[in-house]
Structure 1
Amino acid sequence: MLRRSFVSISALISLILLESSFTPTLAKPVRDPDETVGCEILIVGGGLAGVATAYESLMAGRTVCMTEITDWIGGQVSAQGTSALDEADKQRSLSYYPNGYQELRSNIQRYYGRANPGDCWVSDTCFIPADGYRLLAMKLEKAAKAGRGTLKWFPSTVIKELEMSEDGKIIEGAIAIQHKSATNAPLNSEPLSKTIEDTYRYEDSPRLIKKIIRFEALNERESEGADWYVVEATETGEIVALADVPYRLGLDPRSYLNPSSPTESGDPYCTQGFTYTFAMEQTATPQPQQMPSFYRQYEPYYGYDSDRDKALFEYVFTYRRIWSPQKGKPMRIDGLWIDRPNPGDISMQNWIWGNDYRPGTAKDNLIYTREQLKATGQLAAGGWMGGLRTDALRKAEELSLGFYYWLVAGRTDSQLGYGVKQPHPNHRLLSGLNSPMGTAHGLSKYPYIREARRIIGRPSVGYEEGFSINEIDISAKDYWGSEYRNNLPASMYRNLWKAITHLESLTHPTRSPYQFTKRTRSTVYPDALGVAHYAIDFHPCMTFSPPEAPGNREREGVRQAHGRSYPAQIPLRAMIPQKIDNLLVAGKSIAASNIAAAAYRVHSFEWSVGAAAGTTAAFALEKGIYPYQLVDELPGIEPQLQELRRRLQGNGNPTEFPTTPLPSQDWQESKR
């Protein structure tokens, strides 16, 4: 099924950018566009949220433009290499997903002839990233035919500038740069850190040839409403930053809404770790393994697990095994039965004490804050360069290649000390353009991003400072216990219980306030357009810079919020930014606190919020209204909002879980 070509580890190392840089070189002023393209819906970002947006928009018969910085759609399941579907146990057991996402899962099973071709144990569905891309590309092609929509797909394309109306409320145009190789070396020959700044420059370079594209509305409306809609579906919230709408980044200040936050003032530099995944294959014989020149710098970070019973190579290899042509002999690890790996098995690596890069200071953070963007000139006209620290990307690439070497040849362990880890040389790193990751170097085309810039929604009743989904809206934590009673300021603790009592009374109106001792469900939203369910799951930033420094540790307190969450909803208000009326936000940039976002970040959520964005944009174009007009009278009755929700449900996109408005014990006891 797979054709593979390989390059040596020494060749991979030579591709990594060794120079550090903070301030990106700004692009020259724009030349005249080479092409003008009309759209009804412009989707910026081709990850799962972007694909789901496109899918529903095409099924609604719309003309859709979609840009993506890589040449693969699919994000987590393809270009980011995390092709092991993160799903809550109960939701998975009921197959309670949006129709498009459920079709993807079914298509994977039909393609391989089995649901879990990798026989991994973290998920019921682990597969090859390159196949994820192929399956999604076919899916959008079929959607365009079925819905009589038009898809204009722009791979290897980034948005450089936005053209705003005079009053700043409407995006009237978007200037993009599409690139292709200027040499015989194809794209994906070099890691992202070597090419990303070039992709955001207007001028051609020895590496890349550029095409300047202007996106605009396909038609001008004579009636009310926007001529077109722009959907933010990037992995880091690029359009949120470029449009300069209000947003948050990193840790939120501790409050009665987010009582588990470890900081009183917030910290925009402490975001969740990001990961360059890679695929490795078990071989029948030992393979030559070359130590990267930078290995010793990162060696102090690598480790299996603090639980010695799980400190086995087989445990890590099968965790996200994405291809297993034949079953191995069963083995038991700490109560878990797995099939022992065989030659030919392929594992995708995404391990917290391995290739998770977790910077947490102003010296090394990946996603620039607004202040850093201003300081580097990226908010000036023509200055946008993607909003990421290139040096953090480079070091994450090195960390990942070093982790491969540690797995096959290392003996140290940051969690358990020397002597536990043993070499496993019967493996090779899969690289080459026909490899699972589709890159010459073997790393994913783009890192797996767990946290993005998060918008602050518009003020509304009960949300005077702007709408947001918060910790207490979804968490199953015991706030009645001493952990919170003794450690929160008295006034904050009183306000916490006042808020919980109010939220619980909405679904238990006959109970006395004194009967509420815990949250029994997530918050019910009248404007819910989708569903999400996953644990509040953290990969915390490290305390000091650099994150790989010997003896470094996770930021204290971040994991306090880690744990179970209730099945939750995706409200439309979380998708509508302030200031701009024809911009919708999908993906990880919805209005949510840092803690809530830790649950609203996995595969099925991205599809659900994308389906909501695509349906809402198409509905708004049809009705001649703006999305904010669907919620501006809440908590009053909004007839058109109810019509939109019925349309989503009729298309197989649930807006609530089966137990709404009251939860069942089954959902409460779900592991995730």
Structure 2
Amino acid sequence: MKHSNISVGKSLLSLTLSLISLTSLTPPSLSAPGRSPDQTVDCEILVVGGGLAGAGTAYEGLLAGKTVCLTEITDWVGGQISSQGTSALDERSTQRQRLFFPRGYLELRERIKRKYKELNPGDCWVSESCFFPGDGNEILYRMLRDAAKRGKGNLKWFPSTVIKEIERNSSGNIITGAVAIQHQPAKNAPPLNTFTLSETIEDSYKYENSSRFDKTIIRFVPKNPSQGNSPNWYVVEATETGEIIGLTDVPYRLGIDPRSHLEPSASSTKSDPYCTQGFTYTFTMEATKEPQTNKMPSFYPEYAPYYSYELKRLADFGLVFSYRRIWSPKDGEATQFGGINFTAPAVGDISMQNWTWGNDYRPGTSQDNLIYSRDQLQRTGQLSPSGWMGGLRTESLQKAEEKSMGYFYWLVAGTTDSQLGDGVKKPYPNYRYLSGLDSPMGTAHGLSKYPYMREGRRIIGRPSFGYEEGFTIWEIDMSRRDYREDYYKKTLSPDMYRSLFIALAGRETISAIADKLPPEKIKQRSRSTIYPDSVGIGHYAIDFHPCMTKSPAETPGNTEREGERQGAGQAYPFQIPLRAMIPQKIDNMLVAGKSIATSHVAAAAYRVHSFEWSSGVAAGTTAAYALEKGIMPYQLVDELPKSEPQLQELRQRLEKTGNPTAFPDTSIFNESWDAWR
């Protein structure tokens, strides 16, 4: 692989947008009214978002013989493992040791191993597998093409494509069409991926051609005529921020949920849609034999007060470099720091950087939040006809891009540390920033094509038995936390504290209520909530990258939002209930990925690679099953907790095809989960 040696200073020439004050809400430039579609494309399953959730949906839909349209804002499929640059598989040790994953995810791991003759060509220490993002795209695209052949399905792939409008029937409960914009370079314009996302995102959502892009307007419609009242296609929301949720305006949450007995670690007694987890533009850097001349970016002083190794046990350059190293052609010297074993950087090693106190951007106020709330969408005109512009604050994207490039300069030349003080950070000049269209990120500027998103809009599921306000997976449904800690007794009201332990009593709930047991007498269950409608699995720690207190996020001396890390910690292996994937109001839409019905704390675990794939598997299989049976997904769960025969048939189909819906030995009687780490 060749890598162009453009310096950070030169690569920043493309960042031509001037800084815009974040003290007010800046509406995006709205698109001109739509024009007639250039083409009409039919599908049985329309998947919006080509990340791992979207890919998992397409994979199972194709194996079921369906015609699948897959759209993606970038030109790479794979999301986390490709366009977002986080090509280091986040997995828990027990699940990995047992290889207890969906069949498509196992195939992905095997293909990575086949490509490199090993699973971890980067010899990283954060994961069992770190690799090139571009290879993630190529491997996954071949997987989808092969799935189409095996299942006799039809894949229609639409890269560089965004959804602009959603069409519905007169009742509003059925999506009847979707209008999309696909962009390609205009005549004499630079190639795609020359400019940063902040420079192009608003252009991408405009119907009219521009000096950068020529646009093709595509209308997606159902492949077959409708049969009675049953939908003849399904739309799967699998975007990184919950775009289609915002566009269709179905009920959803964003940011912090109020503290309750179900979400006892919440950092606030009120909801806060502006404090979501930080997002990250990743980049790659290469170890060199000779020192490099790395020019300080003009904006570096603005962000320098933020950068840090974070903790003394992590304050080692070699440890940080090898953390997500994606390529290591030589065996470096075995070393250790802070109790962590790794091999020291060697010439030719390439590392991807994703560091909380480095290139994370963590806005948390209404002046700088990235994902617009419903109120902000309305005020910026994005809920009006033809008004949708992606639902993101462009200025925050730009700030994140600058901050990421500045972080590289801090790594190689910085001598300050915001958390550990002076004298900790030393310069390391023998490294270069990799940029150019042939670089690992595939961009002229060297940043990932899209930021790694940890949290987006999250639907509120439909009201059901025990969930009168709408189905939600809460913190207590999967956290391992010991809620007898003094914090909870002091923070929660007595009634809320008792309700917490009643909810955690498991099969002893009835006796705890009947006997009026005090909290200290109630045994806390040691497993996750078990769902009768589980259609997938996941396992990861509740991992927080909290928003910052002040705006802008890089303000000197800024701190993380107080209390946001209270919910962080280990989680039990958990399930993906179908009810968490079914939005209110629309009957032929399913939600996969990070936008399923989770709380803010639970979402911190429901976001990693294998979970995204598993949720996509559930969406693709459910859509195919619903089409075959002529039913709607909500009809599979609307009688719970009564028996739902067709729901059980769907779950059996998932299990028989190698897609687990529960971890081994899952039952209300099994409380032995200490071994699952």
TM-score (norm 1): 0.97
Q: Distance between the aligned counterparts of 1:241 and 1:13, measured in 2? A: 32
CA shift, 1:103, in A, is: 0.8
What is the SS of the residue equivalent to 2:41?
strand
- Aligned partners of 1:158 and 1:178 also within 8 Å: yes
Aligned to 2:207: 202
Shift of 1:269: 0.3
**Post-superposition offset of 1:161:** 0.4
CA distance in 2, matches of 1:301, 1:436: 26
* 1:452 and 2:462 aligned: no
1:572 matched to 2:571? The reply is: no
Is 1:437 aligned to 2:441, yes or no? yes
Partner of 1:657: 663
CA change 1:532–1:270 in 2 (3 A) is same
Q: Which residue of the other structure, out of 603, 608, 613, is the alignment partner of 1:607?
A: 613
Alignment match, 2:549: 543
Q: Give the structure 2 partner of residue 18 of structure 1.
A: 18
Separation in structure 1 between the aligned mates of residue 308 and residue 506 of structure 2, nearest angstrom:
45
Change (3 A) 1:36 1:10: same
Q: How many residues align?
A: 669
In structure 1, the gaps of 5 or more residues are none
Percentage of pairs with the same residue: 62
Which residue in 2 is equivalent to 1:492? 496
2:609 maps to amino acid: H
Indicate whether 1:245 and 2:250 are aligned.
yes
What is the RMSD of the two structures over their aligned residues, measured on CA atoms?
1.8
Match of 2:156 among 127, 145, 152: 152
Contact between 1:54 and 1:64, CA under 8 Å: does it hold in 2? yes
- Going from structure 1 to structure 2, the CA distance change for 1:335 and 1:507 (only over 3 Å counts) comes to farther
Does structure 1 residue 520 correspond to structure 2 residue 519?
no
Q: Which residue of 1 aligns with 2:349?
A: 345
Residues of 2 paired with 1:436 and 1:124: CA distance? 19
Alpha carbons 1:501, 1:513 under 8 Å: kept = no
Q: Which amino acid aligns with 1:144?
A: A
Contact 2:5 2:432 in 1 (8 A): no
Q: 1:304 aligns with which of 309, 326, 330?
A: 309
Deviation at 1:228, TM superposition (A): 0.5
Q: Match of 2:335? A: 331
Deviations 1:210-235 (A, max 9, x none): 01000000111334421100000000
- Compared CA separation, residues 19 and 492, structure 1 to 2 (3 A): same
Q: Identify which of 273, 285, 290 aligns with 1:280.
A: 285
- Answer yes or no: is the 8 Å Cα contact 1:169–1:579 preserved in 2: yes
Instruction: Confirm or deny: 8 A CA contact 2:9 2:294 kept in the other structure.
Output: no
1:11 & 1:215 partners in 2: Cα distance?
41
Q: Which residue of 2 aligns with 1:29?
A: 33
The one-letter code sitting in structure 2 at the alignment partner of 1:443 is L
Structure 1: distance between partners of 2:123 and 2:669: 32
SS at match of 1:668: coil
Note the residue ranges of structure 2 that are not aligned, 5 or more in a row: none
Q: Is the 8 A contact 2:261 2:499 kept in 1?
A: yes
What CA distance in whole angstroms lies between the structure 2 residues aligned with 1:523 and 1:507?
Answer: 18
> Which residue in the other structure is 1:319 paired with?
323
Give the match's secondary structure for 1:179.
Answer: strand
Alpha-carbon separation, structure 1, partners of 2:607 and 2:425: 32
| CA separation of 1:294 and 1:504: change in aligned 2, threshold 3 A | farther
Q: 1:550 to 1:19 in 2, by over 3 A?
A: closer
2-structure distance, mates of 1:421, 1:507: 58
Answer yes or no: is 1:235 the counterpart of 2:234.
no
Three-state SS of the structure 2 residue aligned to 1:556 is coil
Q: C-alpha offsets along residues 287-310 of structure 1, whole Å, 9 cap, x if unaligned?
A: 110000000000000001222x42
State the distance in 1 between where 2:227 and 2:342 align: 62
Classify 1:513/1:119 alpha carbon distance in 2 versus 1 (closer, same or farther; 3 Å): farther
CA distance in 1, matches of 2:449, 2:128: 24
Is the contact made by 1:90 and 1:667 (CA closer than 8 Å) also made in structure 2?
A: no
CA contact (8 A) 1:359 1:545 kept: yes
- Quick one: distance in 1 between partners of 2:287 and 2:597? 43
- Contact residue 300 and residue 414 of structure 1 kept, 8 A: yes
The 1-side partners of 2:293 and 2:223 are apart by 56
The alpha carbon displacement at 1:480 in A equals 2.1
Go from structure 1 to structure 2 and tell me whether the alpha carbon gap of 1:74 and 1:638 turns closer, same or farther (over 3 Å shift): same
In structure 1, what is the equivalent of residue 404 of structure 2?
400
Tell whether the 8 Å contact from 1:469 to 1:592 is kept in structure 2 after alignment: yes
| Aligned pair partner of 1:619 in 600, 610, 625 | 625
- Report the residue type matching 1:385 in the other structure: M
Bigger mean CA offset, 501-510 vs 292-301: 501-510
Matched with 1:53 is: 57
CA shift for structure 1 position 18: 2.5
> Higher mean Cα deviation, 339-348 or 8-17?
8-17
Write the letter of the residue equivalent to 1:178: Q
Deviations 1:596-638 (A, max 9, x none): 0000000000000000000000000000000000000000000
Amino acid across the alignment from 2:473: I
- Cα offset, 1:487, TM superposition: 1.7
Answer with 233-242 or 471-480: which moved more.
471-480
Q: 1:628 aligns with which of 634, 638, 659?
A: 634
Amino acid at match of 1:18: S
Q: Which 10-residue stretch deviates more, 590-599 or 414-423?
A: 414-423
How far apart are the structure 1 equivalents of 2:67 and 2:350?
39
| Distance in 1 separating the partners of 2:554 and 2:582 | 38
The reply on whether 1:359 has 2:363 as its aligned counterpart is yes
Q: Distance in 2 between matches of 1:645 and 1:204?
A: 46
Q: Does the 8 A contact of 1:81 with 1:129 survive in 2?
A: yes
Q: Deviations over 1:496-550 (max 9, x none)?
A: 1121125665999999978643231000000000001000000000000011111
Asked if 1:226 corresponds to 2:208, the answer is no
Moved over 4 A (4+): 502-515, 662-666
Equivalent of residue 98 in structure 1, options 84, 96, 102: 102
Residue 89 of structure 1: how far off its partner (Å): 1.3
Partner of 1:367, secondary structure, is coil
SS across alignment from 2:447: coil
Kept in 2: contact 1:480–1:518 (CA 8 A): no
Query: Once the two structures are superposed, what CA deviation does each residue of 1:323-382 show, in whole Å capped at 9, x if it has no partner?
Result: 101111111112222111100000000000000000000000000000000000000000
Partner Cα separation in structure 1 for residue 635 and residue 5 of structure 2: 54
5 Å-filtered alignment, 1:87-126, equals 87-126=91-130
